[in-house]
Structure 1
Amino acid sequence: MTAMTHPVLKHPIEGAPDGRSAIAYFGMGCFWGAERLFWQTPGVWTTSVGYMGGNTESPTYDEVCSGRTGHAEVVRVVYEPDKVGYNQLLKVFWENHDPTQGMRQGNDIGTQYRSVIYTTTSEQQEAAETSKTAFEPVVRGAGFGPITTNILPAGAYWLAEDYHQQYLHHNPNGYCNHGPNGLSCPVGIARQDELPAQQGIRRPSGS
């Protein structure tokens, strides 16, 4: 049975504050490190990790890792829009993984590690697509290929097993391949021609 309370944020991991919250989903490789990035973001109310985008119901981790179900590892982010905007969450997403690797992050290879954004409103869909368009020339300018991130309306979300939830809180020295990639996504901050010169993406290391 999944623990009901987030050990860091002290809110139910499957809950949301009535009338003042929104939900976003992000897949950026192994969900352990990705979840920590979002629970550390001010204005985020709770987080959990799970599976989305596949073709079976209630998948297990082993089934997802087989590649046969088509699911991605994702973070469910419940946030308060009056405290943190969706564009700020997009910046966390774009700037902390390599969105050009297709079905992998570093040495983590498989469909579950693909870069993906699942949107819950038309406004999120538009904002995510706009951010991708804005980030593309930054990535290309750093010498990398096209962004492979998929942006799709959210479907069913299947909560992952207990031991995956807030994994890096319970295992502070556990595996994590997320962190700044050296690029700045120009979402809501400046025009592309106003940004400083960028450095190359830091490729995530494998386990």
Structure 2
Amino acid sequence: MKHFLSGIDLSSDTPTDFNEIIFGAGCFWGVERKFWVLEGVWLTSVGYAGGNSINPTYEQVCYEETNHVEVVKVVYDPAVIKIDTLLKTFWECHDPTQGMRQGNDRGTQYRSVIYCSSEEDFAPRRYSSAGRATDL
């Protein structure tokens, strides 16, 4: 199976020198669009994270039965795009002060989250979150 936009074979391994980070910032379709246009982003994909069941259905998530968040996984080349650019895009594409909603989309699945897969991305994320809280 290939990614619809990039044509990347989804069964292939991610290049070993690439990183990935997962963002929840509202409806994943709109959020994904913000990231796939950035130079240095190799692949984006949407899904659910942080819940209490495996392979939840759309209906289960929408009825708030699973505690999942709509998320976008961003796989990127850190030699081309810096984590700070991705974090800036994340903070600018949504309003984290709205709690369990984004605009007209309401529900716990629209809350604001960042999941890091590497220590390398964890420190900038913490600094970014603290700085953004001060700005708000």
Determine if the TM-score, normalized by the shorter chain, exceeds 0.5: yes
* 1:100 match: secondary structure: helix
Q: Is the 8 A contact 1:55 1:69 kept in 2?
A: yes
CA distance in 2 between counterparts of 1:37 and 1:10 reads 18
CA distance in 2 between counterparts of 1:40 and 1:14 reads 22
- 1:50 maps to 47
- 1:59 maps to 56
Alignment coverage as a number of residue pairs: 136
1:38 aligns with 2:35: yes
- 2:105 maps to 108
* 1:17 CA displacement: 3.7
CA distance in 2 between counterparts of 1:102 and 1:40 reads 27
Identity over aligned residues, as a percent? 49
Structure 2: runs of 5 or more not aligned: none
RMSD over equivalenced CA pairs, Å: 1.4
1:24 aligns with 2:15: no
* 1:123 CA displacement: 2.6
* 1:81 CA displacement: 0.8
2:92 is aligned with what amino acid?
A: E
2:88 is aligned with what amino acid?
A: K
1:93 aligns with 2:117: no
Structure 1: runs of 5 or more not aligned: 140-207
* 1:6 CA displacement: 2.0
Which structure's CA Rg is the greater one?
1
1:131 is aligned with what amino acid?
A: S
Distance 1:7 1:131, change over 3 A: same
CA distance in 1 between counterparts of 2:82 and 2:12 reads 19
* 1:14 CA displacement: 5.6
Q: Is the 8 A contact 1:31 1:74 kept in 2?
A: yes
Q: TM-score scaled to structure 2, two decimals?
A: 0.93
User: Highest relative contact order (Cα 8 Å, sep 6+), 1 or 2?
Assistant: 2
1:68 aligns with 2:74: no
1:45 is aligned with what amino acid?
A: W
Q: TM-score scaled to structure 1, two decimals?
A: 0.62
Please identify which structure carries the higher strand content: 2
* 1:95 CA displacement: 0.8
- 2:123 maps to 126
CA distance in 2 between counterparts of 1:16 and 1:100 reads 36
* 1:16 CA displacement: 4.4
1:99-129 CA distance string (max 9 Å, x none): 1111111121111000100111223222111
Distance 1:98 1:36, change over 3 A: same
Q: Is the 8 A contact 2:19 2:118 kept in 1?
A: no
Q: Is the 8 A contact 2:100 2:107 kept in 1?
A: yes
